Amino acid sequence: MKLCWVTLTVKDMQESIDFYEKVVGLKVSKRYKPDENIEISFLSSDLTDVKIELICNKKIPQPVHGNDISLGFETLSLDDMIQKLKLHGITKIDGPHSPNPAVRFIFIKDPNGVKIQFVESH
């Protein structure tokens, strides 16, 4: 069995797509509206089969996410990623942390408050 996707409920679909495309580097692979209140988008990368499913439900104006949930993305250069984040106006960065000499990581939050981790491993 393999992981197919992770689902996130979002408050603003376009803002969330912009974040995951421009900051994380994912691309929309599917986008549709099953009804007038719900919009669904899948984002993916050529580097993995795992997708992120974004669901915007107008009946849920402020989605709630658990504080213990984070999505981790591997990056070749954490320093370059920090610069990219700053270029996109993201300045609230937790870290960098280095639990051992081979790993460095930071945390930020996406537009919906979900923790995003960027990891550099050697």
Q: What is the mean pLDDT of residues 67-73?
A: 88
State the pLDDT confidence band at 49, using cuts at 50, 70 and 90: confident
pLDDT one-digit tens code per residue, 29-46: 999 999 999 999 999 998
CATH superfamily membership of 67-122? 2,3-Dihydroxybiphenyl 1,2-Dioxygenase, domain 1 (3.10.180.10)
Rounded CA-CA distance 105/112 in Å is 21
Alpha carbon of residue 13 to chain centroid: 13
Query: Could you tell me which residue, 42 or 62, shows the higher pLDDT?
Result: 42
pLDDT in the model for residue 100: 93
Q: What is the mean pLDDT of residues 78-106?
A: 95
Has this prediction a pTM greater than 0.85? yes
Give one word for 113, left, alpha or beta, with left for phi > 0 and alpha for psi -120 to 50: left
CATH number for the domain running over 1-60: 3.10.180.10
pLDDT in the model for residue 80: 96
pLDDT in the model for residue 36: 94
**Residue extent(s) of CATH 3.10.180.10 domains in the chain:** 1-60, 67-122
Name residues whose C-beta falls within 8 Å of residue 52's C-beta, 6 or more positions apart in sequence. Answer: 5, 6, 7, 8, 20, 26, 42, 43, 44, 71
pLDDT in the model for residue 13: 96
Task: Give me the half-sphere count of Cα atoms (radius 13 Å) on the Cβ side of residue 113.
Answer: 10
